[in-house]
């Protein structure tokens, strides 16, 4: 049961990371521009939406990392 729980957490985190990385703006913008990420970017350089997206991406990446390490130690 413990192993299956962490497999599910890791799979959800992996899908979430793909989605979150695609939301980040690249050189010419990105999907985040559709959600209002480009408003005010000329004035401040980094909008609140982009900063929050960065924080969420880092949190999901940490969850993915710890789930991977836990599964590695569990399945040895």
pLDDT tens, position by position, 23-63: 887 665 566 566 665 555 555 556 888 889 999 999 999 99
Distance of alpha carbon 27 from alpha carbon 38, whole angstroms: 12
Is residue 33 one of the residues assigned to a domain? Answer: no
Is residue 11 one of the residues assigned to a domain? Answer: yes
Contact by Cβ (8 Å): 25, 33: yes
Is residue 40 one of the residues assigned to a domain? Answer: no
Q: What DSSP letter does each residue of 18-76 carry, written as one string?
A: HHHHHHS--SS--HHHHTTTTTTHHHHSS-HHHHHHHHHHHHHHHHHHHHHHHHHHHT-
Distance of alpha carbon 73 from alpha carbon 76, whole angstroms: 6
Is residue 10 one of the residues assigned to a domain? Answer: yes
Is residue 50 one of the residues assigned to a domain? Answer: yes
Q: How many domains does one find in the chain?
A: 1
Domain that holds residue 50: 2-25+45-74
Q: Which residue has the tokens 């399945």?
A: 75
pLDDT tens, position by position, 9-26: 999 999 999 999 998 876
Instruction: Give me the pLDDT at residue 64, please.
Output: 97
């Amino acid at each position: 049961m413990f192993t299956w729980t962490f497999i599910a957490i890791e799979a959800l985190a992996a899908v979430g990371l793909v989605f979150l990385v695609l939301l980040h703006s690249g050189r010419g913008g990105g999907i985040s521009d559709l959600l209002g990420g480009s408003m005010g970017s000329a004035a401040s350089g980094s909008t609140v939406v982009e900063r929050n997206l960065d924080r969420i991406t880092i949190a999901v990446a940490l969850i993915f990392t710890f789930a991977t390490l836990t599964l590695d130690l569990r399945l040895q």
